[in-house]
Amino acid sequence: MKILAASGNWNLFIGRIHPLIVHLPIGILIIAFVLALLSRSSKRSGLRAALPLLLLAAALSAIASCAAGYLLSLDGGYDEQLLNTHLWLGIGVAVSSTLLYLLTVLNKLPRLQLPLFVVLLLLVSAAGHYGGSLTHGDDYLTQAMPPALQAFAGQQKAADNAPAYTNIADARLYEDLIAPVLSSRCYGCHNAQKLKGGLRLESVALIRKGGEHGPVMKDSLPEESELFKRLVLPDNDEHRMPPKGKPQLSPREVELLYWWIAQGAPTGKTVKELKPNTRIQLVLEAMTPGKALDHNEFVPEATSSSPDKKAIAALATKGVKVLPVAASSPYVSVSCVNAPGFSDADMALLHPLRAQLIWLDLSGTRITDAALPGIAQLSALTRLELKHTGIKGAAGTSLAACQELRYLNMSGTACSSAFLAGLGKNKKLRQLYLYQANTDAPTLRQLQQQLPKLAIDTGGYQLEKLASDTIIYKKKVV
C-alpha cells in the first residue's frame, strides 16, 4: 500500500469521490422534476412544499460534484475535448439548479420554472453521458450494442476513422502511424495546457525539446530514450507511461515507436523509404487496412440479429451443438458430431436459426432427401457438410436457394447427377468434395464450365510405388 500512500494526496482523494457524489444531483433532480409535474394537479399541490428543499440539496450536491470533478481532472490523462465538454455541462447543471432553487424559493417567474427544469434535465443527461465516456471510453456503449444497432452506429464510425493511406508502404511513418498513437495515448497530459513533467509531445520539435527532466529522446537510440523506455516498464512502476489505469499502447504501437526512434525520428518519410526490416514488416502488414486478420470469407460482412436462444436449447437436448462462429458474432455453426441420431424430423429445429446459421455439419446423421427442402431454407449457409448421409438428390431436390454456399462436402453420398448439375445455380460455390460419391464425368465437366472458379475434388488419390520406397540404407560390410 506504500505506493498508493506515496502518490495519494487530498486533492486526488476528494477528486476520486466525484464519481460517487455526482449521482446525488442526478437522482434528486429527477425526483424533484417528477414531484413538480405531479404537484401541477390540484389534488397533489401539497407536494410543492418539498421542492425548495430538494432543489437546495440538488444545487449543493451539484456544486460539490463540480468541485470534486475539477480536482479529479487535475490528475490528468483524460481526453481534453471530452473533459471540457463534461466540465462546462457540469457547471451548467450547478448554475441552473442554483438558479431554479432561487426562483422557486423567491417564487419568481413561475412560467419559466418548468422549461428551466427540462433544460436542467437535458444538461444532467448530457453531462452524465460525457462523464461516462471519460471513465469507460466513448465506445463503452456501442461495444455492447446488439448487432442491429451497432450496424447503424458502426457505419458512421468506420467512415470517421478511415486511415489516410491505402497501402501501408505509402503511409508516412510519423504523420500517419506515430502521431495518431501519441495523440490518442499521450497528448491528454503532455499538451500546452497540462504540460505534465514540463513535456509536450504534439510535434517532433516539442518531443526533441524534452521536459523538465531533460530530453526524452536520444537520436536513433530507443533503449536510451525515456519516450520508449517508460512504455515497457512494469505496470505498477510509478514511472510507467501511460500511467496505470490509463489506456495503454498496444505491443504493435510500442514496436512502431521503437522503430521510429531507431530511424532517427524522421518526419514526412514513408514506410517504403525507410526500408522496414522483417520484424517491423510483420507489424506493418498486420496494420494494413483491408487485410484485417479477422477476415473470413465464410462469414458474411453484414451483421444479423441474435440467434434464437430457445432454438439453441431445443437443439442441445438432441445433442446438437450450436456455437457462435466468434465470441461477438451473431452467426452460428451447428455440428451434429455428437448427434448421429439427427434425422429428417429434427430439421425443423434448425429453421428458427436460418438467418444466422452459416456453417452446418450433418455428416454421419440419419438425414435423407426429405431433409433437403429444410436445408434449402437455410439461405445464409456458406459451409455445408453432408458426408456419409442418405442424401441421394432425387428429382425435384436442389440447393439452389442456398445462394451463399461456398463449401459443399458430399463425400460418401450417392447423390444423383441431376442434383450435382443443379449446383451450377450456386454461383458462389468454390469447393465441392465428392470423394467416394457420384463422379459422373460429363456432369462434372459441365458443372466446371458453368462455375470456372469451383474446385471439384473427387479424391481417390494414390501415391506411386517407387523403388526408393523399399530401400533400406545400410553401410556395406566389406
Partner 1 sequence: MAKHDKLLREANEETLRYITRRHFLLDCVTGLGAAALGSLLTGCGSSVKPVDFSADPMAPRAPHFPGRAKSVIYLHMAGAPSQLELFDYKPELQKLHNQLCPPSLLEGKKFAFIRGVPKMLGPQAIFSQHGESRAWVSDHLPHFATMADEVSFLKAVQTDQFNHGPAQLLMQTGNARLGRPSIGSWVTYGLGTENSNLPGFVVLTSGGKTPDAGKSVWGSGFLPSVYQGVQCRTKGDPVLFLTDPDGMNRDLRKQSIEAINDINRQEYENFGDPETVARIAQYELAYKMQISVPDVMDISKEPAYIHELYGTQPGKESFANNCLLARKLVEKGVRFVQLYDWGWDSHGTDENLAIDYGFRNKCREIDRPVAALLKDLKQRGLLDETLVIWGGEFGRTPMQENRDGKDMPYLGRDHHVEAFTMWMAGAGIKKGFSWGETDEIGYAAVKGKVAINDIHATILQQLGFDHEKLIYQFQGRPFRLTDVGGHVITPILA
Please state the closest distance from residue 168 (CB atom) to partner 1, in A.
11
Please state the closest distance from residue 283 (CB atom) to partner 1, in A.
6
Residue 84 or 303: the one with the smaller Cβ distance to partner 1 is: 303
3-state secondary structure the chain: CHHHHHHCCHHHHHHCCHHHHCHHHHHHHHHHHHHHHHCCCHHHHHHHHHHHHHHHHHHHHHHHHHHHHHHHHHCCCCCHHHHHHHHHHHHHHHHHHHHHHHHHHHCCCHHHHHHHHHHHHHHHHHHHHHHHHHHHCCCHHHHHCCHHHHHHHHHHHHHHCCCCCCCHHHCEHHHHHHHHHHHHHCCCCCCCCCCHHHCCCCCHHHHHHCECCECCCCCCCHHHCHHHHHHHCCCCCCCCCCCCCCCCCCHHHHHHHHHHHHCCCCCCCECCCCCCCHHHHHHHHHHCCCCCCCCCCCCCCCCCCCCCHHHHHHHHHCCCEEEECCCCCCCEEEECCCCCCCCHHHHHHHHHHCCCEEEEECCCCCCEHHHHHHHHCCCCCCEEECCCCECCCCCCCCCCCCCCCCEEECCCCCCCHHHHHHHHHCCCCCEEECCCCCCCHHHHHHHHHHCCCCEEECCCCCCCCCHHHCCCCCCCCC
Residue 130 or 433: the one with the smaller Cβ distance to partner 1 is: 433
- Per-residue cell: 274: 525507410
Residue 440 or 457: the one with the smaller Cβ distance to partner 1 is: 457
Please state the closest distance from residue 175 (CB atom) to partner 1, in A.
24
Please state the closest distance from residue 430 (CB atom) to partner 1, in A.
10
Residue 293 or 441: the one with the smaller Cβ distance to partner 1 is: 293
Residue 59 or 429: the one with the smaller Cβ distance to partner 1 is: 429
Please state the closest distance from residue 277 (CB atom) to partner 1, in A.
9
The answer to whether 169 and 281 are in contact (CB under 8 A) is: no
Residue 103 or 299: the one with the smaller Cβ distance to partner 1 is: 299
Residue 310 or 475: the one with the smaller Cβ distance to partner 1 is: 475
Residue 121 or 232: the one with the smaller Cβ distance to partner 1 is: 232
* ∠ CA 96-101-105, rounded to 5°: 150
Please state the closest distance from residue 340 (CB atom) to partner 1, in A.
10
Please state the closest distance from residue 285 (CB atom) to partner 1, in A.
4
Residue 43 or 474: the one with the smaller Cβ distance to partner 1 is: 474
Q: Which residues bind partner 1 (CB under 8 A)?
A: 236, 250-251, 278-279, 282-283, 285-286, 291, 293-294, 296, 298-299, 321, 323-327, 329, 331, 335, 337-338, 385, 387, 407, 409, 411, 431, 433, 435, 457-464, 466, 468-469, 471-475
Residue 324 or 352: the one with the smaller Cβ distance to partner 1 is: 324
Please state the closest distance from residue 254 (CB atom) to partner 1, in A.
11
Please state the closest distance from residue 432 (CB atom) to partner 1, in A.
9
Residue 291 or 427: the one with the smaller Cβ distance to partner 1 is: 291
Please state the closest distance from residue 349 (CB atom) to partner 1, in A.
18
Please state the closest distance from residue 415 (CB atom) to partner 1, in A.
14
Q: Find, among 7, 296, 355, 320, the residue nearest to 148 by Cα.
A: 355
Tell me how long the chain is.
478
The answer to whether 97 and 59 are in contact (CB under 8 A) is: yes
